Amino acid sequence: MSDEVHAPPESPHREFYQTPTGAVAARLLRERLVELWPDLTGRCVLGLGHATPYLRLWRDHAARVLAASPAEAGAQPWPRSGANLATLVEETELPFADFTFDNVLMVHGLETAENGRRLLREVWRVLKEDGRLLVVVPNRRGLWAHSEGTPFGQGRPYSHGQIARLLGRTMFTVERRRSALFIPPFQTRLLLRGAGVWERAGRALAPRFAGVAIVEARKEMFGAVPVRALPAKGRRVLVPAGLRFDPPKPPPG
């Protein structure tokens, strides 16, 4: 039997974000995300799915930033410094204690989840009482949802109404909605250079046909408040070779 240790496969999303189209898409999305969450200083942030291209918005000032992706999605690149970590998890059994995170960002996660409702219930569990969730999903009316060459063309797309109803059924209250990626998912350099014009025109003229829907939701506490914080069950965590992972400690009290 060989003693060689094999690292988990690299995420296929990384290839896309290294292309000119992926770089432009990430920049446009970051602009919308930072409008919603301009400052997360001192907060504990969890990124689910493939969120590392966007977590850098808050990495320098948040108290802790963790990128977690499903084991089958592969490892995500992430700086190995300070309290910023990357790990692989089982999406319906997150290895974190109740009330751990202030903010959760989900990108390339919900649309490919085997059980979206169970995933959202896990997110609800690990969020603090005043926690916020920001979900980015492919818009079912947009061109990106039909482009299989990008991560936004994978899994199940949603409309704003569909994602809002799903969040409501999993005890979240929708606070704000945004749209992004009005530029077609092509790799024409001339088109990419005019991405800003496409975004402004799309928001004004065809908001329903954006590439992605962005929804911010607040954790709803009434009706299902546990008597006390429950300890997290034992959960299997797959950590990429060479990375050190110390699960966040539950809050005192």
Domains annotated for the chain, with CATH where assigned, are 16-37+99-219 (3.40.50.150)
Can you give the pLDDT at residue 92?
86
Calculate what percentage of the chain has a pLDDT beyond 70.
78
CA atoms within a 13 Å half-sphere pointing along the CA-CB vector of 241? 7
Calculate what percentage of the chain has a pLDDT beyond 90.
64
The secondary structure of 184-195, three-state, reads CCCCCHHHHHCH
- Mean pLDDT (the chain) is 84
User: Cα–Cα distances in Å, from 227 out to 20, 230, 244?
Assistant: 50, 9, 33
Where residue 77 falls among pLDDT bands split at 50, 70, 90? low
CA-CA distance, 151 to 107, in Å (whole number)?
Answer: 10
Helix (H) or strand (E) holding 200: helix 195-205
CA-CA distance, 84 to 104, in Å (whole number)?
Answer: 14
In the predicted structure, residue 158 carries a pLDDT above the cut 50: yes
The secondary structure of 79-146, three-state, reads CCCCCEEEEEEECCECCCCCCCEEEEEEECCHHHCCCHHHHHHHHHHHEEEEEEEEEEEEECCCCHHH
Higher pLDDT, 219 or 243: 219
Can you give the pLDDT at residue 171?
96
Can you give the pLDDT at residue 61?
94
In the predicted structure, residue 225 carries a pLDDT above the cut 50: no
Quick: pLDDT tens for 84-96.
578 888 888 999 9
| Spacing of C-alpha 196 from chain mean position | 23
Q: Is 55 helix (H, G, I), strand (E, B) or coil?
A: helix
Where residue 253 falls among pLDDT bands split at 50, 70, 90? low
In the predicted structure, residue 76 carries a pLDDT above the cut 90: no
Nearest to 208 by CA among 149, 145, 140: 140
Enter the tokens of residue 113.
């989840």
Can you give the pLDDT at residue 221?
85
| pTM for this entry | 0.81
